[in-house]
Structure 1
């Protein structure tokens, strides 16, 4: 029996986004690394299916499972603000394969200056692309601002890594293994705000419950960007803190000393194991669509809303980015 899907709301989340577990299931779904290797043709099909469903024109014979799969692919590959296809390296679904390779190498090759410089540069190049891809696209950023952001974050990461490497030369070996995480955390605090500086300068779009734009708020931008910084550091923390402890112990075992050439691949695989879980967990810490009390907005925006809507609007909503 064919089910009528003409009234099916494809934009209604499968899981309650007001709870952490609901968001966790949602992000496990859309950060699935397998979606990063789906063909361009299939992604284009997913977009057509989602847009058709939004207009109540679902092709005959389409099942609800097909629509949900199309929405999964759409959410993984298309920007929520613009609907444009994102570059594959910047997608959250590429965080596991991309992040595991870079994280594993940063943790393995931390002893020499050239290795530290190279892998921190690779990591910040990757992060800059991810941050740009997942920005709030309603706030455009120039090529010059992208370059300044990239240079600032890379410089911060290198300064932190090289400075701490010098400081930990006489410290226990484990502390030296934690230097890459300190550098990554410091760089995230620079890279993300710099890459999204236009949002901090001009504010981001805030809407009512029905997604009608009400104005722009710098305070909303500060909240959104702060949450993204926390999420990104949380994403990296378990792997970059616990994995060095594990490797420190494994490398003392006799059989591990005989297979030193496999240490780097092992670290890469273990880093991937952490990221498979931590990417969706970190994304789920805060809601994607944030809610903010009107009284916390800038005074001038509060006055504007009161003049236009009286006391009808108590909360505004905005996309924090990822």
Structure 2
């Protein structure tokens, strides 16, 4: 028996995006690290299926579960603004496998200066690629701007880590273990705005309730980028704050003192456990499509919106990126 899919809206969210729990369930779905292993031909199938469904052309025999799976793959691998396939490392679904390795080694190799510098550089290189991949694509950034942003963020992370390592030499060991998180948090405050600076300069596209663009707003860009910074720091915080406490206690156990070779792999695995939950939780802190009161827009843009939609249009909407 065939299912009638004539009224099926593939872009309708499966869970209520107006609630935190609904957004977390949504991001658990699309940040599933298993989607990283899906072959290219399967991703191309997913895109073709989603596009056909949007046009109302669904092959006979297609089931709802197939469409939902295609949408999951599409959301995990293709940019929401451009529809272009994103590079694997920059996808949010790669945050768990990529982040767990980098975070685990950052927390393990925190004692020597060369290791601190190397792993902070690796982490910021990874973050820069993720930030660029998940930017609001309506605001292009030049190669020169990307290079400057990357160097600024990397320098900030390394400088923070090195200076804090120097200041905390006589501090308790646990305090020293928290230095990587301080460096990561500081760098996120620089890396994300710098990689998305064109949004702050030119503004990002804001739309009315009918999904029609009404202009570009720098204030919307600032709000969106601020929310992304908060989300990224939240994503890293539990693992990088609690894991040092856990390792501090584990390393005092007799069998752990003998099996020092297991310390680094253990931190990598535990980092992955934290990230598996924190990636969707952090992404779900704020709605992907943000609602902004017209009164908060730039004065000239307020006039444009009111002239187009009248006084009854209280909000505009924009994609904040990830």
TM-score (norm 1): 0.99
Match of 1:321 in 2: 321
Structure 2, unaligned stretches of length 5 or more? none
Aligned residue pairs, count: 322
Query: What SS class does the counterpart of residue 290 from structure 2 fall into?
Result: strand
Q: State the partner residue of 1:246.
A: 246
- Kindly indicate whether residue 38 of structure 2 is the aligned counterpart of residue 38 of structure 1: yes
The aligned counterpart of 2:173 is 173
Partner residue of 1:294?
A: 294
What root-mean-square deviation, in Å, do the aligned CA atoms of Structure 1 and Structure 2 show? 0.6
Give SS of 1:205's match: strand
Q: Are 1:153 and 2:153 an aligned pair?
A: yes
Q: After superposition, where does 1:227-238 map in structure 2 within 5 Å?
A: 227-238=227-238
Please give the secondary structure, in 2, of the residue aligned with 1:4. Answer: coil
Write the deviation string for residues 174-209 of structure 1: whole angstroms up to 9, x where unpaired: 010000000000000000000000000010000011
SS in 2 for 1:290: strand
CA offset at residue 313 of structure 1? 1.5
TM alignment of 1:11-30, pairs within 5 A: 11-30=11-30
* Contact preservation (8 Å) 1:6, 1:53: no
SS for the counterpart of 2:281 is helix
CA distance in 1, matches of 2:276, 2:212: 36
State the distance in 2 between where 1:142 and 1:231 align. 25
CA contact under 8 A between 1:209 and 1:317: conserved in structure 2?
yes
Q: Which residue of 1 aligns with 2:93?
A: 93
SS of equivalent to 2:89: helix
Match of 1:190 in 2: 190
Deviation at 1:51, TM superposition (A): 0.3
Normalising by the residue count of structure 2, what TM-score does the alignment of the two structures yield? 0.99
Alpha-carbon distance in 2 for matches of 1:305, 1:208: 8
Deviation at 1:210, TM superposition (A): 1.8
Deviation at 1:309, TM superposition (A): 2.3
Given the alignment of the two structures, is residue 257 of structure 1 paired with residue 251 of structure 2, yes or no? no
The answer for the alignment partner of 2:113 in structure 1 is: 113
Inter-partner Cα distance in structure 2 for 1:309 and 1:263: 61
- In structure 1, stretches of 5+ residues that fail to align are none
1:200-257 alpha-carbon deviations (Å, 9 max, x no partner): 0010000011211000000000000000000000000000000000000111111001
By how many angstroms is 1:273 displaced?
0.3
Task: Provide the residue aligned with 1:215 in structure 2.
Answer: 215
